[in-house]
Amino acid sequence: MTGADGLKWREAMVSRVIPVEVFDLVVFGASGDLARRKILPGLYRRYLAGQIPQGSRIIGAARSAMTLEEFRAMVAESIAEFVTPEKRDPKAMAEFMAILSYVGIDAKGEAGWPELAALMREGVVRAFYFSVAPTLFGDIAERLHAHGIADAQSRIVVEKPFGRDLATARALNATLASHFEERQIYRIDHYLGKETVQNLMAVRFANILFEPLWNSQFIDHVQITVAETVGVEGRGSYYDKSGAMRDMVQNHLMQLLCLIAMEPPYHFDPDAVRDEKLKVIRALQPVAPTDIVRGQYAAMHGAPGYVEDAENPDSRTESYIALRVQVANWRWKNTPFYLRTGKKLRARTSEIAITFKEPPHSIFDDAPGWRENVLVIRLQPNEGMNLKVMIKEPGPGGMRLVQVPLDMSFAEALGTEGADIPDAYERLIMDVIRGNQTLFMRGDEVEAAWAWTDPIIQGWEARGDRPSRYDPGTSGPEDALMLMHRDGRRWREIAE
Ligand code: BG6
| Tens-digit pLDDT profile for residues 334-385 | 999 999 999 999 999 999 999 999 888 888 866 555 578 999 999 988 888 8
What integer is the mean pLDDT of 101-123? 95
Q: CB-based burial of residue 164 (10 Å sphere; 0-12 exposed, 13-18 middle, 19+ buried)?
A: middle
Q: How many angstroms is it from 395 CA to the middle of ligand 1? A: 47
Residue nearest to atom 10 of ligand 1 (CA): 228
Residue nearest to atom 14 of ligand 1 (CA): 191
- The string of pLDDT tens digits covering residues 22-78 is 999 999 999 999 999 999 999 999 999 999 999 999 999 999 889 999 999 999 999
pLDDT given for residue 485 in this prediction: 95
pLDDT given for residue 444 in this prediction: 97
Residue nearest to atom 13 of ligand 1 (CA): 191
* Atom number, ligand 1, closest to the C-alpha of residue 160: 3
Q: How many angstroms is it from 226 CA to the middle of ligand 1? A: 9
> Following CA atoms 433, 438, 439, 445 in sequence, which dihedral angle do they give, to the nearest 10 degrees?
120
- From 38, 228, 309, the mutation candidate for ligand 1 (largest count of ligand atoms within 8 A of CB) is 228
Q: Within 6 Å (CB) of ligand 1, which residues are found?
A: 190, 228, 247, 350
- From 248, 340, 383, 421, the mutation candidate for ligand 1 (largest count of ligand atoms within 8 A of CB) is 248
- The string of pLDDT tens digits covering residues 140-182 is 999 999 999 999 999 999 998 899 999 999 999 999 999 999 9
More confident residue, 14 or 434: 434
What integer is the mean pLDDT of 424-440? 96
| pLDDT confidence bin for 1, thresholds 50/70/90 | very low
More confident residue, 6 or 178: 178
Residue 420 has pLDDT above 70, yes or no: no
The share of the chain scoring above pLDDT 70, in percent, equals 94
- Answer yes or no: are the C-beta atoms of 479 and 340 closer than 8 Å: no
Beta carbons within 8 Å of 343's beta carbon, 6+ residues apart: 228, 230, 231, 232, 244, 297, 306, 319, 320
- Answer yes or no: are the C-beta atoms of 125 and 431 closer than 8 Å: no
pLDDT given for residue 462 in this prediction: 97
* Atom number, ligand 1, closest to the C-alpha of residue 230: 10
* Atom number, ligand 1, closest to the C-alpha of residue 247: 6
Q: Are strands 57-62 and 155-158 parallel, antiparallel or unpaired?
A: unpaired
Alpha-carbon distance 119 to 114, whole Å? 9
Q: How many angstroms is it from 379 CA to the middle of ligand 1? A: 13
Q: How many angstroms is it from 429 CA to the middle of ligand 1? A: 17
Residue 4 has pLDDT above 60, yes or no: no
Q: How many angstroms is it from 352 CA to the middle of ligand 1? A: 16
Provide the mean pLDDT of the chain.
Answer: 92
Q: Which amino acid type is present at position 274?
A: R
- From 38, 159, 190, the mutation candidate for ligand 1 (largest count of ligand atoms within 8 A of CB) is 190
What integer is the mean pLDDT of 90-116? 95
**Nearest to 47, CA basis, from 12, 115, 95:** 95
- Answer yes or no: are the C-beta atoms of 113 and 28 closer than 8 Å: no
79: part of which helix (H) or strand (E)?
helix 68-82
Alpha-carbon distance 112 to 115, whole Å? 5
pLDDT given for residue 391 in this prediction: 86
**Nearest to 470, CA basis, from 259, 268, 231:** 231
- Active-site annotation, residues: 252
Residue nearest to atom 4 of ligand 1 (CA): 248
- The string of pLDDT tens digits covering residues 436-472 is 999 999 999 999 999 999 999 999 999 999 999 999 9
* Atom number, ligand 1, closest to the C-alpha of residue 194: 14
The share of the chain scoring above pLDDT 90, in percent, equals 79
Q: How many angstroms is it from 469 CA to the middle of ligand 1? A: 21
Q: What is the DSSP letter of 300?
A: B
* Atom number, ligand 1, closest to the C-alpha of residue 226: 16
pLDDT given for residue 15 in this prediction: 56
Q: How many angstroms is it from 44 CA to the middle of ligand 1? A: 21
Q: What is the DSSP letter of 155?
A: E
Alpha-carbon distance 162 to 176, whole Å? 11
Least trusted range by pLDDT, from 6-10, 340-344, 415-419: 6-10
Residue 10 has pLDDT above 70, yes or no: no
